[in-house]
Amino acid sequence: MVLLTPYTYYDQDEDLKAQLRSVIITRSKDGATLDEIINDYRELTGTNLLDIFYSRIDLMKYLSILQNVWCTTDGSCGLMLWFCSTPRTKHVVHMIQQQRSPRASGRTTYRNYIPRALAQVDQQEHQNSRSTGSMETGSTATSNAVHAFTYGEPVQFQGDNNCRPVRSYRSKRPPRMVRHNPYARRTTTATTTTAGHSNPSCWRQSRSDELDYSMYGPSYHRHQLVGDDFFLAIAKWELGFSFDRGHQIDMSGLCISGLTLAEAAKRVEMAPFIADHVLVNVGTVDLLHGREMIDLIHDFNQLVARFRERNVEPIMTTLAPIANSGGRTPMADRLLKLNEYICRTCPRTIDLWKNFVHANGTVRFECYQPGPRKVSGSIMPHVLWNKLGRQLMLSVLGNEIAAQLTTDEQWRYY
């Protein structure tokens, strides 16, 4: 009798996906950067991922479609961090995230192993041996101090009063590893005036395709940016603008955390400088706070009127889908109606909504961060765009601005 071994089909693509997930899971403590994924995969398999995907952009697109894999942005330096957690590896991810730093545990063990009193005894012995040159005196002081410490008696030192005991012997802490970010945008340091105060206008050096930051705040291709947390994140992490100092709410120019339509109208009315060309994305905060449709229309008309009072016809963008609530909810219905009103009443518009949905109308969640987060200007949590979403937004804005520049109808605005 002959036993036939069943044929096992080997899927190379599934094997690649499993290897990438395992590489990302091993860095669940702090998240994996793209460079760390490439280096870890090379150590695991001996293969360079860039030889398979040819570019970092293709690798990022492949990672974004992997099941149970998501990315977010590190707020401290703007790096894209990748995470993975599957139902089978959920306990492993939790275990890695709960691990304590070996450096911290090492310090605790060191302090328990060498008590402070014994460290002082050693230092006193060293000083006595140097000052008197007697080995016997030092050894006697050490033995008496150790005996007193053992039986709970207070330790007293005799000798030169100028000798200051050292609390403990501590090794020099190694410098903390800083992740290398080759794509970080360079910024200039703040200059100091003669009075000793920093000059906000010199926090960042303006490029030739930007407006003067001290007058107009963040800009993109000489278009002043006005918006809430979505535009504020783009100004901060993609365009390299800094937050204005001295405010409890995060803001940079007219990109303000938690900005509503009514507040934007007041800011435009009171602002000392408004550029000739403005990109506006406001209204998401009003929807998150449950404003009624008639109030949204009233506040939106007031905002447009404030711009026109200053002889500026703004470019109004439609609102992207709100990832906090999916499906046909009342909030989503009001958003669609507001977008229709914007396109119907404003002569200059950019439709952002269509770029953040699939062909069937579902939200492209791969362009959003994995969960809601609190912002400084609103009590409602926001699901902001991730690195992929912010880059998509800049690409859409740039293409639309170029398209309007090349039409005869829009030449009069420049």
Domain ranges of the chain: 16-94, 213-411
- Among 25-29, 326-330, 389-393, whose mean pLDDT is lowest? 326-330
Looking at every residue in the chain, the average pLDDT score rounds to: 76
Rounded mean pLDDT, 21-44: 86
Residue with the bigger pLDDT between 87 and 349: it is 349
Task: Assess contact for 318 and 283: CB atoms under 8 A.
Answer: no
The end-to-end CA distance of the chain, in Å, is 87
Please give the pLDDT value at position 104. 46
Predicted pLDDT of residue 265: 96
The dihedral formed by the CA atoms of 220, 223, 229 and 232, expressed in degrees to the nearest 10: 40
By CB atoms closer than 10 A (0-12, 13-18, 19+), residue 174 is exposed
Which is more confident, 390 or 142? Answer: 390
213-411: what CATH class?
A: alpha beta
Q: Is 77 helix (H, G, I), strand (E, B) or coil?
A: coil
Q: What confidence category does residue 28 fall into, taking pLDDT thresholds of 50, 70 and 90?
A: confident
Residue 285 makes CB contacts below 8 A (sequence gap 6+) with: 228, 229, 258, 259, 260, 377, 378, 380
The whole-number pLDDT of residue 378 equals 92
Higher pLDDT among residues 412 and 22, named by residue: 22
Beta-carbon count within 10 A of 146 CB: 14
With tokens 């007031």, the residue in question is: 302
Do the domains 16-94 and 213-411 sit in the same CATH topology, yes or no? no
Q: Element (H or E) spanning 57, and its range?
A: helix 56-64
Please name the fold of domain 16-94. Answer: Nucleotidyltransferase; domain 5 (3.30.420)
Judged against a pLDDT cut of 90, whether residue 304 lies above it is answered with yes
The pLDDT confidence band at residue 208, using thresholds 50, 70 and 90, is low
| The two structure tokens encoding residue 269 | 């009315």
The whole-number average pLDDT for the span 226-254 is 93
Does 132 score more than 60 pLDDT?
no
Q: Give me the pLDDT at residue 7, please.
A: 42
pLDDT of residue 223: 95
Across residues 70-99, what is the average pLDDT? 74
Q: Which of residues 82 and 216 earns the better pLDDT score? A: 216
Q: Are 76 and 236 in contact (CB under 8 A)?
A: no
- Note whether 280 and 314 are within 8 A (CB): yes
pLDDT of residue 170: 55
Predicted confidence band at 230 (pLDDT cuts at 50, 70, 90)?
very high
pLDDT value of residue 283: 97
pLDDT computed for residue 404 by the predictor: 82
Query: What single letter denotes the amino acid at residue 402?
Result: A
The pLDDT, as a whole number, for residue 3 is 42
pLDDT given at position 324: 81
- For the chain, counts of helices (H) and of strands (E): 15, 13
Per residue in 156-178, pLDDT tens? 444 445 555 545 555 555 555 55
385 vs 85, higher pLDDT: 385
- Measure the CA–CA gap between 130 and 120, rounded to whole angstroms: 15
pLDDT over 60 at 194, yes or no? no
How many whole angstroms separate alpha carbon 267 and alpha carbon 158? 71
User: How far apart are alpha carbons 264 and 246 in whole angstroms?
Assistant: 20
pLDDT (mean) for 194-212: 54
Using 50, 70 and 90 to split pLDDT, how confident is the model at 351?
Answer: very high
393: which 2 tokens? 């937004």
The pLDDT of residue 21: 87
Give the tens place of pLDDT for each residue, 242-278.
Answer: 999 888 899 999 999 999 999 999 999 999 999 999 9
pLDDT at 11: 63
Percent of the chain residues past pLDDT 90, beyond the cut: 40
**Rounded average pLDDT over 11-40:** 85
**391: which 2 tokens?**
């880059």
CA 257/CA 378 separation, integer angstroms:
7
